[in-house]
């Protein structure tokens, strides 16, 4: 099978012809149709996340069809359309798994990081960590739901019942979650790179009540803010933008260093918190919600062999919505 392979952090991915994987007893073998490209993939490829499996097939927003199953598989059958997310394995016995916080599992393994992912024609995955894809979503449009959507949704839920929400960085996750926010009657204020008029217009098209640069203050204080961009200097900016008792959620797996800031902007019971990974319950809830909204993803497709170009476009901020690798030309 063809796959894009990471041999070492900081190096471009290499096209390789590899043996097809074989499903273990609890795994499904998938013919990959599409795999969305995530900023986490960038962090892994660029060496900002330490100790990936090497060589590695990246990619953790995978949509494919089951073509073989292990002996103990019960959840899926041949021909089922399946989604594979970031969380690929948990131990089920550490203190976090035992208290409903499997996203913090001490022994977790992640797709496209410690487990080979979806930048390939075939992949295997533990059936217990896969999701059925909702009807009505073509493969290309479904793929971004599996990380931008899932972890974005976990971040969104951490804002509680906030009425005025700020989104810092308006990429794949934000363009999905603004649709959920509108569905629930909330207002979204979008913050983009300074001078990114195109990005601000994109946010307004999707329903943002205001859009501006990342260091601007919104026209009225926010109840909560989610920082999707991996930029530490946005933390003080977001704290200044939220009202007393407001929440600032850092949604990324990696962020540049947060600069020092005066305690005054955190005071008045403002809360700063991070998001780590996702739980399977997050996935079930979000994928049930998506068709009700209904969420529509905007994607830019790249062939599998252009994975490096897709990563470069994402790195430079040139993607509106989500970048997705088209792996199988006969997708739904």
pLDDT at 24: 98
* For residue 52, pLDDT beyond 80: yes
For 159-274, give the CATH class: alpha beta
pLDDT in tens, 144-195: 999 999 999 999 999 999 999 999 999 999 999 999 999 999 999 999 999 9
pLDDT at 165: 99
Domain 2-144+278-326 belongs in CATH node 3.90.180.10: yes
pLDDT at 332: 46
Task: Give yes or no for a contact between 41 and 112, defined as CB atoms under 8 angstroms apart.
Answer: yes
Residue 328: pLDDT band (50, 70, 90) is confident
pLDDT at 16: 98
CA 49 to chain centre: 15
* For residue 120, pLDDT beyond 90: yes
Angle of CA points 141, 146, 150, to nearest 5°? 120
Average pLDDT over residues 57-67: 99
Q: Could you give the C-alpha distances from 319 to 54, 232, 283, in angstroms and in order?
A: 28, 21, 25
Angle of CA points 197, 151, 137, to nearest 5°? 80
Q: In whole numbers, what is the pLDDT of the chain averaged over residues?
A: 97
Q: Where are the domains of the chain?
A: 2-144+278-326, 159-274
- For residue 281, count other CB atoms closer than 10 A to its CB: 12
pLDDT in tens, 224-240: 999 999 999 999 999 99
pLDDT at 330: 54
Q: What is the DSSP string of 206-218?
A: TT-SEEEETTSPP
Coil, helix or strand at residue 4: strand
pLDDT in tens, 188-206: 999 999 999 999 999 999 9
Cα separation, 182 vs 252, in Å, equals 22
Average pLDDT over residues 207-212: 98
* For residue 331, pLDDT beyond 80: no
| Backbone CA torsion sign across 324, 325, 327, 330 | positive
Residue where the block lists tokens 């976990």: 154
* For residue 278, pLDDT beyond 60: yes
């Amino acid at each position: 099978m063809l796959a894009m392979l990471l041999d070492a952090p900081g190096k471009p991915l290499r096209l390789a012809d590899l043996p097809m994987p074989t499903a273990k007893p609890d795994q499904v073998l998938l013919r990959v149709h599409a795999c969305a490209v995530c900023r986490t993939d960038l962090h892994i490829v660029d060496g900002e996340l330490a100790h990936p499996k090497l060589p590695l097939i990246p990619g953790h927003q995978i949509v494919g069809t089951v073509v073989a199953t292990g002996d103990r598989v019960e959840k899926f059958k041949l021909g089922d359309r399946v989604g594979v997310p970031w969380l690929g394995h948990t131990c089920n016995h550490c203190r976090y798994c035992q208290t409903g916080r499997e996203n913090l599992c001490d022994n977790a393994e992640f797709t496209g990081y410690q487990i080979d992912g979806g930048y390939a024609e075939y992949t295997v995955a533990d059936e217990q960590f896969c999701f059925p894809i909702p009807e009505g979503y073509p493969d290309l449009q479904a793929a971004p739901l599996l990380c931008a959507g899932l972890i974005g949704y976990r971040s969104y839920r951490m804002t509680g019942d906030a009425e005025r929400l700020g989104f810092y960085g308006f990429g794949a996750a934000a363009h999905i979650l603004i649709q959920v926010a509108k569905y629930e009657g909330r207002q979204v204020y979008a913050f983009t790179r300074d001078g990114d008029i195109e990005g601000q217009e994109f946010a307004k098209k999707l329903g943002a009540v205001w859009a501006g640069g990342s260091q601007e203050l919104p026209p009225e204080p926010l109840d909560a803010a989610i920082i999707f961009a991996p930029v530490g200097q946005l933390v003080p900016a977001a704290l200044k933008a939220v009202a007393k008792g407001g929440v600032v959620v850092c949604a990324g797996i990696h962020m540049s260093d947060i600069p020092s800031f005066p305690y005054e902007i955190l005071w008045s019971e403002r809360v700063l918190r991070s998001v780590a990974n996702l739980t399977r319950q997050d996935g079930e809830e979000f994928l049930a919600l998506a068709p009700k909204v209904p969420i529509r993803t905007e994607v830019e497709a790249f062939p599998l062999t252009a994975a490096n170009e897709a990563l470069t476009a994402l790195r430079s901020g040139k993607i509106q919505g989500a970048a997705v690798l088209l792996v199988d030309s006969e997708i739904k």
